[in-house]
Amino acid sequence: MARKVYTIMQRLKSLSGQHVNWNTADSDKQFRFNNRTYTVAASIIGLQTKPRAGVNMTNDVIGMESSPGVNSGFTGTGIVCFKAEPNIGSTAGALSGDVRGYECSLGKPSGAGTITGTASCLKCINNTNATITGGVYCLHVVTHGDTKAWDGLALLPDDSQIAKTNEDKTAGTKGWVKVKIGSTVYYLNAATG
């Protein structure tokens, strides 16, 4: 017989020298955190993790790690590591801000030390060693799934750093997008529609 156990707690801490291992008993069940409707007009954060280094480090600080997979000897359909699906109710009111599936905000105080590596919002690493019929890409965009089509591949700032309008790098073009290939800066020419 199924039994429900309700526990009221503020903190959960592992025993010294031990990890905290939580596993569901059934393979078709998940851990669900804050699957609820909030009724207070405040910032809503469903899940938060903020690990901080308090000692000198020689390795990375990782906020969250996920590695789904298919074990050797088995077949499957697909693997999705993270899925973001912002939801708007069919009769919800107007939103005055943006809707984002993912947001990255890089920051470093002026007094902090130098970052000798690269700072980026996305890093793609290809470690595949198999035949992939559909190809391997850093970005895969599918056509729109409802009546509203995409307005473009990207929305870039006209800041003369990433992109610039009304400036010719080559005769006949009306703008450019800046990229770096290896150690050399290049400009992708853009034309008006």
Q: What angle do CA 172, 190, 102 make, to 5 degrees?
A: 170
14: pLDDT confidence band, cut at 50, 70 and 90? confident
Write out the DSSP string of 131-192: --TT---S---PPPSSSSPPS-S----BSSSSEEES--SSTT--EEEEEEETTEEEEEEE--
Distance of alpha carbon 193 from alpha carbon 179, whole angstroms = 22
In a domain, 114, yes or no: no
pLDDT over threshold 80, residue 64: yes
**pLDDT per position as a tens digit, 19-38:** 888 898 999 999 889 999 99
Tally of domains within the chain: 1
Query: Cβ neighbours of residue 102 under 8 Å, at least 6 residues apart?
Result: 84
The answer to whether position 183 is within a domain reads yes
Is the model more confident about 170 or about 18?
A: 18
Residue 38 resides in a domain: no
pLDDT in tens, 96-132: 999 999 999 998 888 888 999 999 999 999 999 989 9
DSSP at 113: P
Q: Say if 133 falls within a structural domain.
A: no
Which one is predicted more confidently, 8 or 162?
A: 162
pLDDT of res. 51: 93
Q: Per the domain annotation, does 55 fall within a domain? A: no
Q: Name, in order, each residue with C-beta under 8 angstroms of 84's C-beta and a sequence gap of 6 or more.
A: 101, 102
151 belongs to a structural domain? no
What are the distances in angstroms from CA 63 to CA 50, 51, 57?
7, 6, 15
Question: Is 165 within a domain?
Answer: yes
Contacts of 181 (CB under 8 A, 6+ apart): none
Q: What is the mean pLDDT of the chain?
A: 90
pLDDT at 1 over 90: no
More confident residue, 165 or 4: 165
- The helix (H) or strand (E) run that includes residue 65 is none
pLDDT band, very low/low/confident/very high, at 172 (cuts 50, 70, 90): low
> How many C-beta atoms lie closer than 10 Å to residue 64's C-beta?
8
Q: Indicate the SS3 state at residue 49.
A: coil
160 has a pLDDT exceeding 80? yes
The reply to whether 50 falls in a domain is no
The domain containing residue 185 runs over which residues?
157-193
Cα 29 to its chain centre, rounded Å, is 24
